[in-house]
């Protein structure tokens, strides 16, 4: 088990109606003026925004608001929000929404008071030294941004989508009210489930040796996510299944699922698939992050599994109950070919990857980049973005070159 630091300082307020306690919690923590940040209208239509504002009013927490955050949030609104936060002298930023509202809010929180251009934090010209406190009302379990140390922002002018990581940007308080997720469209539910599973797999497939405790947490969370996903796709208002997904989404990305699997001093996982997906949704910001991952992850797995087949065998056995054929034990009378041990491993790993991809597809996720509107002509631009964001080589399960990335993209077309 490798050395690690695990710090999840967020206070989680979970359950039915916690949306109505936002004001009281913020007031108790000493906050007096909030900048509410939200997306393109779902929280207005569902009444969530009004509930949050009513609870702030009741607790004497004044507020200003900034709406219109688009999926794959863009730097222009971060700049606008930082100017507003400064002008309005807010003491907390309060996103109400998904990863996009949360990441825009995190961006605002770090850019407030910074005298240079906000993009400096994503182009790595500046490091985060100050950050306004953040509290968040989560409306979609997916990004895990409510407990993560990262913040992903797009820059349309430069054709980039980049991450900024800092321990300072983990939210102080996260409100997780599963009933808010009843209104999610099936596609967003599915993309969210894919993203949370991807956050666990990025860590599981770090390339480092097994850690029993962490592997059991990881595979258990994925099994629970698959079970709950099957339920909510049929019953969108099943509270317990929605609640399971909400909590799994948080635990998938607060660091718990990576303890001991990271290389000290580096990130706690491989993160190649996230890097490659971010270039997909940078190429077309209408592409949902989770849907991109549903395509990229299986393609990456097929490209790299031979570097550590044992991790895939563990994953297949624990998540899907897939075991390699054992010629000593299994009845092979129906199989013509000779099953060598290598062949048995190959078949078990391929079956595992197929099963994962079938699960994503069963929820309505795509299996090719073509379904997302990406063509061969987009690959050069995606490679250019990868070079900026990840350099000439990246990843820990297997170090990938940009040529590997190109091969993975091409295999997924």
Identity of the residue, 72 or 313, whose beta carbon is nearer to ligand NZQ in the bound complex:
72
Identity of the residue, 66 or 296, whose beta carbon is nearer to Zn ion in the bound complex:
296
Minimum separation from the CB atom of position 35 to ligand NZQ (A): 17
Chain position whose Cβ is nearest to Zn ion:
195
Nearest-angstrom CA–CA distance, 137 and 246? 12
Minimum separation from the CB atom of position 96 to Zn ion (A): 20
Nearest-angstrom CA–CA distance, 107 and 90? 15
Name the residue among 413, 389, 412 with its Cα closest to residue 402: 389
Identity of the residue, 103 or 215, whose beta carbon is nearer to ligand NZQ in the bound complex:
103
Minimum separation from the CB atom of position 366 to ligand NZQ (A): 15
Identity of the residue, 269 or 316, whose beta carbon is nearer to Zn ion in the bound complex:
269
Nearest-angstrom CA–CA distance, 116 and 130? 13
Choose the stretch contacting Zn ion; rule: CB under 5 A; options: 53-61, 167-175, 188-196, 364-372.
188-196
- Tokens encoding 19: 């949306």
Minimum separation from the CB atom of position 268 to ligand NZQ (A): 13
Binding residue count for Zn ion, defined by CB under 5 A: 1
Q: Is 195 in the site for Zn ion (CB under 5 A)?
A: yes
Q: Is 93 exposed, middle or buried (0-12, 13-18, 19+ CB in 10 A)?
A: buried
Minimum separation from the CB atom of position 84 to Zn ion (A): 28
Choose the stretch contacting Zn ion; rule: CB under 5 A; options: 182-190, 194-202, 264-272, 337-345.
194-202
Name the residue among 123, 128, 138, 124 with its Cα closest to residue 108: 128
Q: Among ligand NZQ, Zn ion, none, what does residue 184 contact (CB within 5–8 Å per kind)?
A: ligand NZQ
Nearest-angstrom CA–CA distance, 351 and 338? 18
Vertex 245: Cα angle to 54 and 226 (nearest 5): 160
Identity of the residue, 103 or 195, whose beta carbon is nearer to Zn ion in the bound complex:
195
Q: Among ligand NZQ, Zn ion, none, what does residue 178 contact (CB within 5–8 Å per kind)?
A: none
Identity of the residue, 19 or 143, whose beta carbon is nearer to Zn ion in the bound complex:
143
Nearest-angstrom CA–CA distance, 135 and 385? 31
At 135, phi and psi to the nearest 5? -125, 150
Q: Is 25 in the site for Zn ion (CB under 5 A)?
A: no
Minimum separation from the CB atom of position 163 to ligand NZQ (A): 7
Nearest-angstrom CA–CA distance, 244 and 397? 29
Residues 120 and 82 sit within 8 Å (Cβ to Cβ): no
Q: Is 146 in the site for Zn ion (CB under 5 A)?
A: no
Residues that bind ligand NZQ (CB under 6 A): 39-43, 46, 71-72, 97-101, 103, 139-140, 142-145, 148, 150-152, 180-181, 183-184, 188, 192, 195, 253, 274, 289-290
In this structure, how many other beta carbons lie within 10 angstroms of the beta carbon of residue 216?
Answer: 11
Identity of the residue, 25 or 195, whose beta carbon is nearer to Zn ion in the bound complex:
195
Strands (E), 252-341: none
Residues 269 and 225 sit within 8 Å (Cβ to Cβ): no
Contacts with Zn ion, residue ranges (CB under 5 A): 195
């Amino acid at each position: 088990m490798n050395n690690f630091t695990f710090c999840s300082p967020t206070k989680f307020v979970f359950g039915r109606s916690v949306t109505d306690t936002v004001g009281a919690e913020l007031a108790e923590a000493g906050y007096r003026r909030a900048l509410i940040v939200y997306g393109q209208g779902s929280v207005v239509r569902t009444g969530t925004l009004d509930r949050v504002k009513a609870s702030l009013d009741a607790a004497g927490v004044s507020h200003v608001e900034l709406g219109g955050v688009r999926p794959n949030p863009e730097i222009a609104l971060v700049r606008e929000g930082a100017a507003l936060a400064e002008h309005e002298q807010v003491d907390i930023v309060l996103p109400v929404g998904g990863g996009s509202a949360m990441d825009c809010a995190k961006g605002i929180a770090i850019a407030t008071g910074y005298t240079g251009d906000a993009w400096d934090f994503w182009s790595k010209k500046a490091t985060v030294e100050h950050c306004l406190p953040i509290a968040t009302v989560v409306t979609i379990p997916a990004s895990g941004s409510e407990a993560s140390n990262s913040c992903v922002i797009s820059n349309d002018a430069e054709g980039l989508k980049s991450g900024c990581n800092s321990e300072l940007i983990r939210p102080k308080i996260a409100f997780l009210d599963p009933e808010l997720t009843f209104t999610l469209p099936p596609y967003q539910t599915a993309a969210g489930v894919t993203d949370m599973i991807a956050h666990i797999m990025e860590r599981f497939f770090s390339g480092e040796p097994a850690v029993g405790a962490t592997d059991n947490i990881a595979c258990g969370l994925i099994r629970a996510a698959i079970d709950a996903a099957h339920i909510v796709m049929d019953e969108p208002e099943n509270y317990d299944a929605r609640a399971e997904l909400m909590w799994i989404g948080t635990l998938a990305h607060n660091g718990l699922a990576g303890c001991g699997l990271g290389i000290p001093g580096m990130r706690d996982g491989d993160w190649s698939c996230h890097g490659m997906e971010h270039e997909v949704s940078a190429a077309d910001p209408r592409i949902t992050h989770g849907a991109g991952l549903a395509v990229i992850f299986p393609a990456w797995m097929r490209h790299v599994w031979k570097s550590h087949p044992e991790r895939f065998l563990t994953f297949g056995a624990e998540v899907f109950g897939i075991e390699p054929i054992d010629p000593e034990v299994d009845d092979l009378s129906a199989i013509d070919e000779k099953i060598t041990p290598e062949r048995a491993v190959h078949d078990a790993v391929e079956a595992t990857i197929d099963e994962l991809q079938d699960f994503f597809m069963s929820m309505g996720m795509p299996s090719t980049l073509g379904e997302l509107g990406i063509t061969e002509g987009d690959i050069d631009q995606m490679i250019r973005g990868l070079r900026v964001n990840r350099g000439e080589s990246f990843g820990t399960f297997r170090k990938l070159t940009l040529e590997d990335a190109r091969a993975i993209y091409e295999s997924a077309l």
